[in-house]
Amino acid sequence: MIGVSWGLIVGVVVGVVIGILLAVAAFFCVRLRKKRGRIGFIGSSSSRRCSTVPIRANGVDSSTVLSDSTTGPGFHRINEDDGLSLWIGQNRKRVASVTGIPKYSYKDLQEATCNFTNLIGQGAFGPVYKAQMESGEIVAVKVLATDSKQGEKEFKAEVLLLGRLHHRNLVNLVGYCAEKGQHMLVYVYMPNGSLASHLYNDSRNALSWDLRVEIATDVARGLEYLHDGAIPPVIHRDVKSSNILLDRAMRARVADFGLSREEMISRNASVRGTYGYLDPDYVSSRSFTKKSDVYSFGVLLFELIAGRTPQQGLLEYVELASINAEEGMSWDEIVDSKLDGVYDAEEVNQVSTLAYKCINRSSSERPSMRDVVQALSSVIEARGQ
């Protein structure tokens, strides 16, 4: 009995050892097979490997640009046979949507504008229509002139640039349409219309002096952002009262900076701007600079003070007042009669002096928009003291 017991024990032990050895061998076999499978997958099907890239790409910031400079020696280059190229090609068609700018169909905007009949303005680039979207949201649709030489690629590049320009004192882009040969830009709707309509429409209540200074400060902040906050910097090139829109709270926002392009210093540009607001330096050099916008803003300041347009001899009026000011008289003789004498004379003198600096014939002597913002902010801050 004892002998039998030992025999059983030895048999069991031997069986267990053999079983363990077989299990270990099987384990290593499976691992080796999996490893070979992975090596073959990487070498034979790069397109399958790349299928996970789109998920990661959705998190790329709108300002990110893929370029050759980002590729290192071991970076996998994309070619036409690569599976990833199809994904990139599809998303190029809706690249603005990927960056967060909705793309609308022509039919959507046609219905929203009642077949483009709700005309609310005419900008330098084309008519602007009021539109009610399916969601109930009210927007403004700018239909760009059909004689524009801008192609699809250039238009989408412009949309991408505009989509990155966001500031509380700009009329921000919220969508676009590129279809049927039409290029349209969809903007936030400004219910209180343009500054010009408030200054010159007798049916509207006159803007108070305090509000005029606040509007000027809002505009200055918007332009400062375009000049110093945007990358690349943007020059408006057509600052005027009809391009300043007022939101529901009567905060001013700069409009129609849309296709104004990045900063141009040495390049010749097509003639832009409006008579009376145009920088004299531009007339001779055909080159816009940030100081060109400063000049136009100075004219706008005098427009807010005097309540008359450049076409009504505003600057001649101002020049006459400046001669009197040098003789010790006050700037307040040019103040808009609609204010009925309700204004702070010291503030009028401060704002007029600033405006006069902005329209200096020498562009190098004009302040920057940052300087202008600081000066106007100081005027407002002094009210509480």
Positions marked catalytic: 238
Q: Inter-axis angle of helices 209-224 and 369-381, to 10 degrees?
A: 150
Separate counts of helices (H) and strands (E) for the chain:
14, 7
**b vs e for 83-104, b when ≥16 Cβ sit within 10 Å of the residue's Cβ?**
ebeebbeeeeeebbebbebebb
d(CA 198, CA 191): 12
Q: What are phi and psi of 296, to 5 degrees?
A: -60, -40
Q: Can you read off the two tokens belonging to residue 42? A: 């990487």
DSSP type of residue 68: G
H-run or E-run covering 188: strand 182-188
d(CA 179, CA 195): 32
- How many other β-carbons are positioned within 10 Å of the β-carbon of residue 331? 23
d(CA 315, CA 301): 11
DSSP type of residue 368: P
Q: What letter represents residue 89's amino acid?
A: G
Contact 129, 119 (CB under 8 A): yes
- By three-state DSSP, how is residue 44 classified? helix
Task: For residue 129, give the nearest of 384, 9, 139 by alpha carbon.
Answer: 139
Residues contacting residue 160 through CB under 8 Å, at least 6 positions apart: 62, 95, 96, 99, 101
- How many other β-carbons are positioned within 10 Å of the β-carbon of residue 322? 18
What is the maximum alpha-carbon separation in the chain?
135
Q: How many CA atoms lie within 13 A of 135 on its CB side?
A: 4
- Total residue count of the chain as it appears in this document: 385
